[in-house]
Structure 1
Amino acid sequence: MNTLHAELNRLYLCGAPGGTDPDKEAPGLVAPDGRVRALVLALARPADWNALSTVWQGVQTDLELPAPAIAVNGIDGYQLWFSLGEPVPAAQAQAFLEALRLRYLGRVAPQRVGTMPAVDVSAPGKIQHAPLVPTLQQGTGRWSAFVAPDLAAIFSEEPWLDVRPSPEAQATVLSRLACTQPAAFQAAMASITEKNVGNPEHHAVAGPAPIGKSLDPKRFLLDVMGDPSIALHLRMEAAKALLPYCEGNLDGKSGS
């Protein structure tokens, strides 16, 4: 394993490499049970670092989270890659990213903002994720890459690299980052959703309603599942994520 692969594994991949067994599937961004450690928030068409930097700064100053990685997507925009120390259900990851969008990018047209992981609506249960960075974009012939915070703004006009980025340089950028631990993630989720609920300004642009405020993962997923304003496929994913908690009943209620 080279240094770049080691950093990607430390921050974003689910599971350790499969040792010497050639038949064992390599770790990816989505675990077999649909959980994820990598959360990706993108802003494109056009690339606008001034806008996305409010998220990058805000999660650190307002939510006290580690800085996410900054990437250019090789086509038309920027990405923020958040790292979790422990994987979470895709529905919970998506709800967190939507809460960030409402809080910091509420005045940006929703079609310019992308969030991953996402549920494939044509195949419920299938989780889509962003291509791992760095990668060659076949449509443009250019590369996506992680970039240092002090260099991010210079890619606003051309959010790509013309040549393959050095694996060693990419590893160096990632080596400065830390994972968000479970307690910090739950606290951030509670904080941002509570602020969104209390500030109607965040709902000026059409988008899903804020998610429940509980620190308890079970309560949070129940709130997602029971909120009719949330997209059906997200509610279905929340229901599936609740299955491990079900032992006859859930929080004193029947599963129906």
Structure 2
Amino acid sequence: MTRLNTEFARLYGAPDSLPTAAKTGTHVPADAVKAMVLEVARPADWSVLSTVWHTVQSELELPAPAIAISGSDGLQLWFSVAQPVRSSEAADFLAALRLQYLAAVPDSRVGLYPSHTSLASGNAAPARAVPAVDAHTGYWSAFVSADLASVFGDEPWLDIPPNRDQQADILSRLSPITRPQWQEALVRLDAAQHKEEPLAATVAVTLAAPLGPVGDMQAQSPKAFLMRVMNDPSVALHDRIEAAKALLPYER
């Protein structure tokens, strides 16, 4: 086994022993994966994808994912876990990253491997192995270092096969996500997605509650509603503060 195969297997679970136009990589069984890939394509845009690369390290405290050029029209982030996770859990992770950091990017430009759509259809497509030659373009995919990623924004490919020792060097500097890091990242992503839910739940409960002695239209106005939330001791302090902020424009 070559150094590249060894490093690829360490991170993603299966060696890429023969990159060819006909070969794609099923890195691990469909129900348990070690490799997760997030791609921005058509066009490739490192200025967009780099946001994810930086923030997963700074906000989620995860190891840096590998960066790859697709050999056709995209740039990719390759995430690795030390212990395989369910494909549905991996899809949750990628979907949360996409929602949190790439919400403004059209769906047609974002690739997730695995994705909930492919899993639901029973046709989960693994990401193509890297490095490999693209059957349609004839160009090569490759792992690249972060300082060179922006160079491939217009042409995310190589004309010739990459040096396999150099590819191994890039992967050798990467670490997989440990189980505690993975679990903490899922918690943080979930909290970020649902940070508005406490206030939404408060609104629902308050709307369902009886209006009490004041039941006229004035009591049902936005200002009156916010006053009720702000003055209700059963409401969480954070939500009462938010209601108070919303009332500021009414103050003269």
Instruction: Write the mapping of 1:1-16 to structure 2, written as runs, cut at 5 A.
Output: 1-13=1-13
Please, which moves more after superposition, 101-110 or 125-134? 125-134
Q: CA deviation at 1:110?
A: 1.5
1:63 aligns with 2:64: no
Partner of 1:29: 27
The Cα offsets for residues 136-185 of structure 1, whole Å up to 9 and x where unpaired, read as: 00100000000000000000010000000011010000000001011110
The Cα offsets for residues 69-100 of structure 1, whole Å up to 9 and x where unpaired, read as: 00000000100000000111111101100000
Partner of 1:22: none
Preserved CA contact (<8 Å) 1:94 1:115 = yes
Q: CA deviation at 1:118?
A: 3.5
Distance 1:193 1:123 in 2: 21
Distance 1:13 1:140 in 2: 27
Residue 130 of structure 2 aligns to a residue whose secondary structure is: coil
Letter in 2 for 1:131: R
Structure 1: gaps of 5 or more residues: 18-26, 201-256
Distance 2:73 2:83 in 1: 31
Structure 1 residue ranges, 4+ long, deviating more than 4 angstroms after superposition: 119-126
Distance 2:133 2:126 in 1: 16
Preserved CA contact (<8 Å) 1:45 1:112 = yes
Partner of 1:195: 192
Q: CA deviation at 1:65?
A: 0.1
Distance 2:158 2:190 in 1: 36
Distance 2:155 2:179 in 1: 36
Residue 194 of structure 2 aligns to a residue whose secondary structure is: helix
Letter in 1 for 2:28: V
1:88 aligns with 2:85: yes
Partner of 1:111: 108
Distance 2:56 2:120 in 1: 32
Letter in 2 for 1:148: S
Alignment length (residue pairs): 189
Distance 1:122 1:170 in 2: 30
1:122–1:197 CA distance, 2 compared to 1 (3 A): closer
Letter in 2 for 1:161: L
Residue 70 of structure 1 aligns to a residue whose secondary structure is: strand
Instruction: Write the mapping of 1:86-165 to structure 2, written as runs, cut at 5 A.
Output: 86-118=83-115, 124-165=121-162
Structure 2: gaps of 5 or more residues: 18-24, 198-252
Residue 52 of structure 1 aligns to a residue whose secondary structure is: helix
Q: CA deviation at 1:40?
A: 0.2
Distance 1:174 1:133 in 2: 11
* % identity of equivalent residues: 46
Distance 1:123 1:103 in 2: 22
Residue 71 of structure 1 aligns to a residue whose secondary structure is: strand
Preserved CA contact (<8 Å) 1:119 1:125 = no
Please, which moves more after superposition, 116-125 or 179-188? 116-125
